[in-house]
Structure 1
Amino acid sequence: MTTTVVAGNPKPGSRTLDAATRLATSLSGEQPDHVIDVVELGAGLLGWGDPAVKNAVDTVSSSNLVIFASPTFKATYTGILKLFLDQFATGEGLRDVTAVPLMLGAGPAHAMAPDLLLKPVLVELGATCPVAGLYLIDSTYTEDSRIADYAQRWAPVLHATTRTEAS
Protein backbone atom coordinates (compact mmCIF):
# COMPACT_ATOMS: atom_id res chain seq x y z
CA MET A 1 0.00 0.00 0.00
CA THR A 2 1.38 3.39 -1.01
CA THR A 3 0.67 6.06 1.60
CA THR A 4 1.09 9.79 0.97
CA VAL A 5 0.78 12.83 3.18
CA VAL A 6 -0.32 16.17 1.71
CA ALA A 7 0.11 19.11 4.09
CA GLY A 8 -1.45 22.39 3.04
CA ASN A 9 0.07 24.74 5.59
CA PRO A 10 1.68 28.03 4.51
CA LYS A 11 4.56 27.29 6.90
CA PRO A 12 7.05 24.61 5.80
CA GLY A 13 7.70 21.80 8.27
CA SER A 14 4.54 22.68 10.21
CA ARG A 15 2.66 20.95 13.00
CA THR A 16 0.09 20.12 10.32
CA LEU A 17 2.74 18.16 8.43
CA ASP A 18 3.88 16.47 11.64
CA ALA A 19 0.33 15.48 12.65
CA ALA A 20 -0.43 14.12 9.18
CA THR A 21 2.77 12.09 9.15
CA ARG A 22 1.96 10.70 12.59
CA LEU A 23 -1.53 9.76 11.42
CA ALA A 24 -0.26 8.08 8.24
CA THR A 25 2.25 6.10 10.31
CA SER A 26 -0.43 5.05 12.80
CA LEU A 27 -2.79 3.96 10.03
CA SER A 28 -0.26 2.02 7.97
CA GLY A 29 2.25 0.88 10.59
CA GLU A 30 5.14 2.54 8.78
CA GLN A 31 6.35 5.95 7.62
CA PRO A 32 4.46 7.36 4.62
CA ASP A 33 5.97 6.58 1.24
CA HIS A 34 5.61 10.19 0.10
CA VAL A 35 5.29 13.51 1.88
CA ILE A 36 4.16 16.60 0.00
CA ASP A 37 4.54 19.86 1.90
CA VAL A 38 2.47 21.93 -0.54
CA VAL A 39 4.13 25.23 0.37
CA GLU A 40 7.37 23.90 -1.14
CA LEU A 41 5.68 23.86 -4.58
CA GLY A 42 5.67 27.66 -4.47
CA ALA A 43 4.51 29.77 -7.40
CA GLY A 44 4.09 26.68 -9.58
CA LEU A 45 0.69 26.25 -7.90
CA LEU A 46 -0.57 29.45 -9.53
CA GLY A 47 -0.61 28.11 -13.07
CA TRP A 48 -0.79 24.89 -15.02
CA GLY A 49 1.99 22.63 -16.20
CA ASP A 50 4.64 23.22 -13.55
CA PRO A 51 6.77 20.03 -13.49
CA ALA A 52 7.08 19.86 -9.67
CA VAL A 53 3.33 20.34 -9.23
CA LYS A 54 2.58 17.75 -11.92
CA ASN A 55 4.91 15.29 -10.19
CA ALA A 56 3.15 15.90 -6.85
CA VAL A 57 -0.28 15.45 -8.48
CA ASP A 58 0.87 12.21 -10.13
CA THR A 59 2.25 10.96 -6.80
CA VAL A 60 -1.05 11.63 -5.02
CA SER A 61 -3.16 10.19 -7.85
CA SER A 62 -1.20 6.94 -7.84
CA SER A 63 -1.29 6.51 -4.05
CA ASN A 64 -3.57 4.11 -2.25
CA LEU A 65 -4.10 6.13 0.93
CA VAL A 66 -3.64 9.89 1.20
CA ILE A 67 -3.89 12.05 4.30
CA PHE A 68 -4.94 15.57 3.26
CA ALA A 69 -4.09 17.94 6.10
CA SER A 70 -4.65 21.61 6.75
CA PRO A 71 -4.72 23.97 9.67
CA THR A 72 -8.08 25.59 10.25
CA PHE A 73 -7.80 29.02 8.68
CA LYS A 74 -10.76 31.41 8.72
CA ALA A 75 -12.94 28.41 9.68
CA THR A 76 -11.90 26.32 6.66
CA TYR A 77 -8.88 24.73 5.00
CA THR A 78 -6.10 26.91 3.62
CA GLY A 79 -5.91 28.59 0.24
CA ILE A 80 -2.63 26.87 -0.51
CA LEU A 81 -4.31 23.48 -0.14
CA LYS A 82 -7.11 24.72 -2.40
CA LEU A 83 -4.56 25.75 -5.04
CA PHE A 84 -3.11 22.24 -4.95
CA LEU A 85 -6.51 20.53 -5.08
CA ASP A 86 -7.45 22.70 -8.09
CA GLN A 87 -4.76 20.80 -10.03
CA PHE A 88 -6.87 17.60 -9.97
CA ALA A 89 -9.59 16.86 -12.53
CA THR A 90 -13.12 16.88 -11.15
CA GLY A 91 -14.48 13.37 -10.61
CA GLU A 92 -11.34 11.64 -11.87
CA GLY A 93 -8.28 13.26 -10.34
CA LEU A 94 -8.44 11.24 -7.13
CA ARG A 95 -10.19 8.20 -8.54
CA ASP A 96 -9.16 5.01 -6.69
CA VAL A 97 -7.56 7.05 -3.90
CA THR A 98 -8.76 6.50 -0.34
CA ALA A 99 -8.52 9.86 1.41
CA VAL A 100 -8.59 11.01 5.01
CA PRO A 101 -9.26 14.69 5.75
CA LEU A 102 -7.29 15.99 8.73
CA MET A 103 -7.46 19.48 10.18
CA LEU A 104 -5.84 21.14 13.17
CA GLY A 105 -7.08 24.11 15.14
CA ALA A 106 -6.61 26.05 18.35
CA GLY A 107 -9.86 24.89 19.92
CA PRO A 108 -12.90 22.66 19.42
CA ALA A 109 -15.08 25.26 17.67
CA HIS A 110 -14.28 23.89 14.20
CA ALA A 111 -14.22 20.19 15.03
CA MET A 112 -16.56 19.35 12.16
CA ALA A 113 -14.47 21.21 9.55
CA PRO A 114 -12.74 18.10 8.12
CA ASP A 115 -16.09 16.47 7.34
CA LEU A 116 -18.07 19.58 6.42
CA LEU A 117 -15.48 21.45 4.37
CA LEU A 118 -12.58 19.30 3.23
CA LYS A 119 -14.22 15.91 2.66
CA PRO A 120 -16.76 17.18 0.07
CA VAL A 121 -13.95 18.62 -2.07
CA LEU A 122 -12.02 15.34 -1.95
CA VAL A 123 -15.14 13.39 -2.94
CA GLU A 124 -15.83 15.87 -5.77
CA LEU A 125 -12.35 15.07 -7.09
CA GLY A 126 -13.15 11.34 -7.08
CA ALA A 127 -11.63 10.21 -3.78
CA THR A 128 -13.21 7.62 -1.55
CA CYS A 129 -13.61 8.94 1.99
CA PRO A 130 -15.11 6.00 3.88
CA VAL A 131 -14.49 7.21 7.44
CA ALA A 132 -14.90 10.34 9.52
CA GLY A 133 -12.28 13.04 9.18
CA LEU A 134 -10.04 13.87 12.10
CA TYR A 135 -9.76 17.21 13.90
CA LEU A 136 -6.90 17.77 16.30
CA ILE A 137 -6.08 20.53 18.75
CA ASP A 138 -2.73 21.82 17.54
CA SER A 139 -1.32 22.34 21.04
CA THR A 140 -2.13 18.86 22.38
CA TYR A 141 -2.05 16.36 19.49
CA THR A 142 1.43 15.14 20.48
CA GLU A 143 0.30 14.48 24.06
CA ASP A 144 -3.20 13.05 23.71
CA SER A 145 -4.24 9.69 22.26
CA ARG A 146 -6.52 11.00 19.48
CA ILE A 147 -4.32 9.83 16.60
CA ALA A 148 -3.82 6.35 18.09
CA ASP A 149 -7.52 6.06 18.95
CA TYR A 150 -8.51 7.12 15.43
CA ALA A 151 -6.10 4.64 13.85
CA GLN A 152 -7.30 1.79 16.04
CA ARG A 153 -10.91 2.48 15.12
CA TRP A 154 -10.57 3.29 11.41
CA ALA A 155 -7.45 1.56 10.05
CA PRO A 156 -9.31 -1.72 9.32
CA VAL A 157 -11.97 0.14 7.31
CA LEU A 158 -9.40 2.17 5.42
CA HIS A 159 -7.36 -0.92 4.58
CA ALA A 160 -10.49 -2.74 3.39
CA THR A 161 -11.44 0.11 1.04
CA THR A 162 -7.98 0.86 -0.30
CA ARG A 163 -7.13 -0.27 -3.81
CA THR A 164 -4.01 -2.39 -4.04
CA GLU A 165 -1.81 -3.24 -7.00
CA ALA A 166 -3.05 -6.84 -6.84
CA SER A 167 -6.68 -5.85 -7.41
Structure 2
Amino acid sequence: MTQKRRNDKLTDIIILSGSPSKHSRSKLAANYAGKLAEEKGFTVKEISVTDFAPEDLVYARFNSPAIVAAGQAVSNAKGLIIASPVYKAAYSGVLKSLLDLLPQDAFKNTTVLPIMTGGSPAHLLAIDYTLKPLIANLKGESLQGVYLCDHHINKENPEHPVSDKETDVRIQTQTNQLVEAIRRNHVASVVK
Protein backbone atom coordinates (compact mmCIF):
# COMPACT_ATOMS: atom_id res chain seq x y z
CA MET A 1 0.00 0.00 0.00
CA THR A 2 1.35 3.40 -0.94
CA GLN A 3 1.75 5.69 2.02
CA LYS A 4 -0.60 8.63 1.95
CA ARG A 5 0.63 11.98 3.20
CA ARG A 6 -0.57 12.29 6.78
CA ASN A 7 -0.36 14.93 9.45
CA ASP A 8 -1.31 13.83 12.96
CA LYS A 9 -2.86 17.24 13.64
CA LEU A 10 -5.40 16.74 10.87
CA THR A 11 -8.74 15.04 11.25
CA ASP A 12 -8.65 11.24 11.32
CA ILE A 13 -12.11 10.65 9.85
CA ILE A 14 -14.12 12.91 7.57
CA ILE A 15 -17.87 12.49 7.29
CA LEU A 16 -19.17 13.52 3.87
CA SER A 17 -22.86 14.21 4.35
CA GLY A 18 -24.68 14.17 1.02
CA SER A 19 -28.14 15.27 2.05
CA PRO A 20 -29.36 18.75 1.14
CA SER A 21 -31.52 18.66 4.29
CA LYS A 22 -29.91 19.98 7.46
CA HIS A 23 -31.88 17.48 9.56
CA SER A 24 -31.59 14.35 7.47
CA ARG A 25 -31.65 10.77 8.63
CA SER A 26 -28.49 9.90 6.70
CA LYS A 27 -26.66 12.75 8.42
CA LEU A 28 -27.85 11.52 11.84
CA ALA A 29 -26.69 7.97 11.06
CA ALA A 30 -23.28 9.18 9.83
CA ASN A 31 -22.78 11.44 12.83
CA TYR A 32 -23.68 8.53 15.10
CA ALA A 33 -20.98 6.40 13.42
CA GLY A 34 -18.62 9.35 13.84
CA LYS A 35 -19.47 9.55 17.54
CA LEU A 36 -18.68 5.85 17.91
CA ALA A 37 -15.28 6.47 16.27
CA GLU A 38 -14.64 9.44 18.57
CA GLU A 39 -15.27 7.17 21.54
CA LYS A 40 -12.37 5.06 20.26
CA GLY A 41 -10.04 8.07 20.25
CA PHE A 42 -10.38 9.32 16.66
CA THR A 43 -10.98 12.91 15.61
CA VAL A 44 -13.99 13.35 13.34
CA LYS A 45 -15.14 16.28 11.21
CA GLU A 46 -18.27 16.57 9.12
CA ILE A 47 -18.30 18.17 5.70
CA SER A 48 -21.84 18.60 4.41
CA VAL A 49 -23.00 19.50 0.93
CA THR A 50 -24.91 22.31 2.65
CA ASP A 51 -21.58 23.87 3.69
CA PHE A 52 -20.92 25.01 0.12
CA ALA A 53 -22.32 27.86 -1.91
CA PRO A 54 -24.77 26.29 -4.36
CA GLU A 55 -23.01 28.13 -7.20
CA ASP A 56 -19.75 26.33 -6.41
CA LEU A 57 -21.44 22.97 -6.88
CA VAL A 58 -23.72 23.84 -9.81
CA TYR A 59 -21.06 25.68 -11.82
CA ALA A 60 -18.28 23.23 -10.92
CA ARG A 61 -15.98 25.80 -9.35
CA PHE A 62 -12.96 23.59 -8.80
CA ASN A 63 -10.93 26.55 -7.52
CA SER A 64 -13.46 27.65 -4.88
CA PRO A 65 -11.57 27.99 -1.57
CA ALA A 66 -14.23 25.88 0.18
CA ILE A 67 -13.99 23.13 -2.45
CA VAL A 68 -10.18 23.16 -2.38
CA ALA A 69 -10.18 22.96 1.44
CA ALA A 70 -12.66 20.07 1.36
CA GLY A 71 -10.51 18.25 -1.19
CA GLN A 72 -7.43 18.65 0.98
CA ALA A 73 -9.27 17.51 4.12
CA VAL A 74 -10.64 14.43 2.34
CA SER A 75 -7.28 13.59 0.77
CA ASN A 76 -5.55 13.81 4.15
CA ALA A 77 -8.18 11.86 6.10
CA LYS A 78 -7.29 8.43 7.40
CA GLY A 79 -10.87 7.23 6.92
CA LEU A 80 -14.14 8.44 5.44
CA ILE A 81 -17.81 8.02 6.19
CA ILE A 82 -20.01 8.90 3.22
CA ALA A 83 -23.72 9.27 3.86
CA SER A 84 -26.58 9.92 1.48
CA PRO A 85 -30.29 9.45 1.28
CA VAL A 86 -31.48 7.37 -1.65
CA TYR A 87 -32.91 9.62 -4.37
CA LYS A 88 -34.25 7.93 -7.52
CA ALA A 89 -32.46 4.66 -6.65
CA ALA A 90 -29.04 6.33 -6.20
CA TYR A 91 -27.09 8.74 -3.98
CA SER A 92 -28.09 12.40 -4.00
CA GLY A 93 -27.19 14.51 -7.01
CA VAL A 94 -25.71 17.20 -4.81
CA LEU A 95 -23.31 14.64 -3.29
CA LYS A 96 -22.23 13.67 -6.81
CA SER A 97 -21.70 17.36 -7.61
CA LEU A 98 -19.36 17.67 -4.63
CA LEU A 99 -17.48 14.44 -5.34
CA ASP A 100 -16.99 15.49 -8.97
CA LEU A 101 -15.02 18.50 -7.72
CA LEU A 102 -12.63 16.51 -5.54
CA PRO A 103 -9.27 15.28 -6.86
CA GLN A 104 -9.59 12.08 -8.92
CA ASP A 105 -7.66 10.05 -6.34
CA ALA A 106 -9.07 11.84 -3.27
CA PHE A 107 -9.92 8.54 -1.58
CA LYS A 108 -6.69 6.73 -2.50
CA ASN A 109 -5.61 4.24 0.18
CA THR A 110 -8.48 5.37 2.37
CA THR A 111 -11.08 3.08 3.92
CA VAL A 112 -14.61 4.33 3.33
CA LEU A 113 -17.77 3.47 5.26
CA PRO A 114 -20.82 4.08 3.03
CA ILE A 115 -24.15 4.77 4.75
CA MET A 116 -27.44 5.24 2.92
CA THR A 117 -31.00 5.79 4.10
CA GLY A 118 -34.22 5.21 2.23
CA GLY A 119 -37.93 4.83 2.62
CA SER A 120 -38.03 1.05 2.29
CA PRO A 121 -35.84 -2.05 1.95
CA ALA A 122 -36.45 -1.84 -1.82
CA HIS A 123 -33.45 0.51 -2.10
CA LEU A 124 -31.07 -1.72 -0.14
CA LEU A 125 -28.82 -2.37 -3.15
CA ALA A 126 -28.27 1.33 -3.85
CA ILE A 127 -25.04 1.11 -1.83
CA ASP A 128 -23.68 -1.75 -3.94
CA TYR A 129 -24.84 -0.52 -7.35
CA THR A 130 -24.32 3.23 -7.05
CA LEU A 131 -22.23 4.40 -4.09
CA LYS A 132 -19.55 1.69 -3.98
CA PRO A 133 -18.63 2.07 -7.69
CA LEU A 134 -18.25 5.81 -7.12
CA ILE A 135 -16.00 5.17 -4.10
CA ALA A 136 -13.92 2.76 -6.20
CA ASN A 137 -13.62 5.36 -8.97
CA LEU A 138 -12.12 7.76 -6.45
CA LYS A 139 -9.67 4.98 -5.44
CA GLY A 140 -11.27 4.33 -2.04
CA GLU A 141 -11.43 0.99 -0.25
CA SER A 142 -15.10 0.49 0.59
CA LEU A 143 -16.42 -1.42 3.55
CA GLN A 144 -19.70 -3.34 3.24
CA GLY A 145 -21.67 -0.30 4.37
CA VAL A 146 -24.99 0.14 6.13
CA TYR A 147 -28.41 0.78 4.64
CA LEU A 148 -31.07 2.09 7.03
CA CYS A 149 -34.78 2.38 6.42
CA ASP A 150 -36.16 5.74 7.47
CA HIS A 151 -38.15 4.14 10.29
CA HIS A 152 -34.87 2.92 11.84
CA ILE A 153 -33.88 6.52 12.57
CA ASN A 154 -35.35 8.49 15.46
CA LYS A 155 -34.82 12.18 14.68
CA GLU A 156 -35.87 13.06 18.23
CA ASN A 157 -32.75 11.39 19.69
CA PRO A 158 -29.74 12.75 17.76
CA GLU A 159 -27.25 11.33 20.29
CA HIS A 160 -28.46 7.79 19.63
CA PRO A 161 -30.68 8.05 16.54
CA VAL A 162 -30.73 4.38 15.53
CA SER A 163 -33.93 2.95 17.00
CA ASP A 164 -33.58 -0.59 15.63
CA LYS A 165 -31.27 -2.89 17.64
CA GLU A 166 -30.13 -4.97 14.64
CA THR A 167 -29.34 -1.85 12.61
CA ASP A 168 -27.50 -0.34 15.58
CA VAL A 169 -25.31 -3.46 15.77
CA ARG A 170 -24.57 -3.17 12.03
CA ILE A 171 -23.48 0.46 12.37
CA GLN A 172 -21.32 -0.38 15.38
CA THR A 173 -19.75 -3.34 13.55
CA GLN A 174 -19.02 -1.32 10.41
CA THR A 175 -17.61 1.58 12.45
CA ASN A 176 -15.37 -0.88 14.31
CA GLN A 177 -14.17 -2.22 10.95
CA LEU A 178 -13.41 1.34 9.79
CA VAL A 179 -11.43 2.04 12.97
CA GLU A 180 -9.51 -1.24 12.68
CA ALA A 181 -8.69 -0.58 9.02
CA ILE A 182 -7.35 2.87 9.90
CA ARG A 183 -5.19 1.35 12.65
CA ARG A 184 -3.88 -1.38 10.30
CA ASN A 185 -3.08 1.18 7.60
CA HIS A 186 -1.29 3.37 10.14
CA VAL A 187 0.84 0.45 11.36
CA ALA A 188 1.63 -0.52 7.75
CA SER A 189 2.71 3.05 6.92
CA VAL A 190 4.94 3.25 10.02
CA VAL A 191 6.62 -0.07 9.21
CA LYS A 192 7.54 1.12 5.70
TM-score band by shorter chain is 0.7 to 0.9
TM-score normalised by structure 2 residue count: 0.76
2:119 maps to 106
Deviation at residue 124 of structure 1 after TM alignment? 0.9
State the shift of 1:101 in Å. Answer: 1.1
The corresponding residue for 2:100 is: 86
Bigger radius of gyration among the two: 2
Alignment CA distance shift 1:33-1:156 (3 Å): closer
For the Cα contact (< 8 Å) 1:70–1:103, is it kept in 2? yes
1:114-133 equivalent positions in 2, closer than 5 A = 114-129=127-142, 131-133=143-145
For residues 84 and 119 of structure 1, do their structure 2 counterparts lie closer, same or farther at Cα, with a shift above 3 Å needed? same
Match of 2:186 in 1: 164
Change (3 A) 1:4 1:146: farther
Instruction: Give 1:40 shift.
Output: 2.0
Structure 2 portions without partners, runs of 5+: 1-10, 154-161
CA distance in 1, matches of 2:28, 2:181: 25
Equivalence for 2:79: 65
Partner of 2:44: 33
* Residue 9 of structure 1 pairs with residue 22 of structure 2: no
What's the offset of the Cα at 1:23? Answer: 1.7
Distance 1:136 1:94, change over 3 A: same
Deviations 1:71-93 (A, max 9, x none): 00011001110011102233x22
Match of 2:150 among 130, 138, 150: 138
Amino acid at match of 1:107: S
2:35 equivalent to 1:22 = no
Q: CA deviation at 1:148?
A: 3.2
Q: How many residues align?
A: 165
Residue range with higher mean Cα deviation, 137-146 or 152-161: 152-161
**Could you tell me how far apart the structure 2 residues matched to 1:32 and 1:13 are?**
22
Tell me which of 148, 151, 163 is aligned to 2:168: 148
* Equivalent position SS for 2:116: strand
Query: What runs of 5+ residues in structure 1 fail to find an aligned partner?
Result: none
Q: State the superposition RMSD in angstroms.
A: 2.2
What is the percentage of aligned positions where both structures have the same residue? 28
Amino acid aligned to 1:157: Q
- Tell me, in whole angstroms, the C-alpha distance in 2 between the residues paired with 1:10 and 1:156: 27
2:95 is aligned with 1:74? no
